[in-house]
Amino acid sequence: MKTSASTAVIMTLLATFFWGSNFQAAKIALSSNPPWTASFERFIIAVIGTFAILLLKEKVRWEILSRNLMPYIVLGVIGVAGFNGSLFVGLQTSSPITASLLMATTPISANIIEAIINRQVPATDRIVGMIISLFGVSLVITNGQILSGHIDFAPGDVIILAGSIGWAAYTVGTRAFVTDSTPLETTTWTMLFGTIALGLAAFAFESPVEAVVVGSGISFLAILWMGIAGSVLAYLFWNVGIAVRGPGKTSIFFNFVPVFALLIEVTMGTIPHLVQIIGIAITIFGVLVGQGRFSTWVSKTAS
């Protein structure tokens, strides 16, 4: 069944919601697990889930795997292992506020990478929308402190920035370098190779078996949520969005991740300040501008 553009938008929003929930879940998961091990556990669950869905809904097409083997491996290492590993490791010295701000630069990186590959300049609406939404996200995650122009960079900030660029490359690469692969196949194979890379890192830098044995039950439940909702469904929905609407239009929705993270914090009892609420409104407006919705509405109103 072919996915419509409107359905792809909804799925993309759900993907960003699931990723936004990962911040709260990660706090719980990391309470009794080191970063590489937590990421490895999460994606073991995710790989099992994606393969189960692949076997039920489609089938393993070995010719597609053979044709896209190198892109799957590279994108899995960059977009799964690199992105998630850099986030967890970077947060050891970086603050969540700065990390969210750096992650919010992903749409800009994705559009720059896409423009380089396609040798064309992004549409004006998309550029303006990215700038507006990035400013809105900055207000949300810094509680307005971005206006002072003072941001300190820790060593982890550089690691997280590299991870955000890796995710941008993944977003563009799944469309540019993967051929004849369904979103589910792309999700499954890139996640598998990313998980292998995470496993190698976990055993190289930590003691994952010991960490799993002594880990708490609540920590495991948090990892389970991150593995199913924050990985399987999020990656699958995101890749559907890329396949249907393109990487540029999809990537700008990544700015909703810190917004959803904040809204989840509200349900946990944290009340946002007025400047953060304004930032949420600006972010949504920026996404609409980037999708061309605002200019379309203005044109219809003018006519």
Cα–Cα nearest to 197, from 109, 86, 113, 32? 86
Mean pLDDT of the chain: 83
Can you give the length of the chain in residues?
303
Distance from C-alpha of 144 to C-alpha of 278, rounded to nearest angstrom: 10
- Range with the lowest mean pLDDT among 99-113, 162-176, 186-200, 254-268? 99-113
Q: Quick check: 139 and 271 in contact, CB under 8 A?
A: no
For 131-163, the pLDDT digits (tens) are 887 787 777 767 677 777 666 567 777 888 888
**Which domain range does residue 68 map to?**
5-124+151-260
For 167-201, the pLDDT digits (tens) are 889 988 988 899 999 888 998 999 999 999 999 99
* Residue 169 domain-assigned (yes or no): yes
In the chain, the amino acid numbered 234 is A
pLDDT at position 143? 67
Work out the average pLDDT over 214-231: 88
- The number of distinct structural domains making up the chain is 1
- Range with the lowest mean pLDDT among 86-90, 92-96, 148-152, 160-164? 148-152
pLDDT at 303 exceeding the cut of 60: no
pLDDT at position 96? 65
Provide the pLDDT confidence category of residue 300 given band limits of 50, 70 and 90: low
In the chain, the amino acid numbered 161 is L
Distance from C-alpha of 167 to C-alpha of 6, rounded to nearest angstrom: 24
* Residue 100 domain-assigned (yes or no): yes
* Residue 230 domain-assigned (yes or no): yes
Contacts of 4 (CB under 8 A, 6+ apart): 244
pLDDT at 288 exceeding the cut of 80: no
* Residue 140 domain-assigned (yes or no): no
Contacts of 257 (CB under 8 A, 6+ apart): 16, 19, 20, 100, 103, 104
* Residue 180 domain-assigned (yes or no): yes
Q: 195 φ, ψ to 5°?
A: -65, -40
Distance from C-alpha of 16 to C-alpha of 155, rounded to nearest angstrom: 26
**44 exposure class (CB count in 10 Å sphere: 0-12, 13-18, 19+):** middle
Provide the pLDDT confidence category of residue 231 given band limits of 50, 70 and 90: confident
pLDDT at position 291? 66
- Range with the lowest mean pLDDT among 41-45, 228-232, 255-259? 255-259
Contacts of 14 (CB under 8 A, 6+ apart): 233, 234, 237
DSSP string, 78-99: IIIIIHHHHHHHHTTTS-HHHH
pLDDT at position 150? 65
pLDDT at 298 exceeding the cut of 60: no
* Residue 289 domain-assigned (yes or no): no
* Residue 197 domain-assigned (yes or no): yes
* Residue 298 domain-assigned (yes or no): no
When comparing pLDDT for 302 and 119, which is higher?
Answer: 119
Distance from C-alpha of 103 to C-alpha of 163, rounded to nearest angstrom: 8
In the chain, the amino acid numbered 280 is I
Structure tokens at 114: 């896409």
Distance from C-alpha of 94 to C-alpha of 226, rounded to nearest angstrom: 21
At residue 268, the 3 state secondary structure works out as: coil
Work out the average pLDDT over 42-62: 90
Cα–Cα nearest to 137, from 286, 301, 279? 279
Q: Quick check: 139 and 200 in contact, CB under 8 A?
A: no
Angle at 271 between CA 159 and CA 263, to 5 degrees: 55
Cα–Cα nearest to 26, from 263, 225, 207? 225
pTM of the entire predicted model: 0.76
Give me the residue label for tokens 């109103």: 301
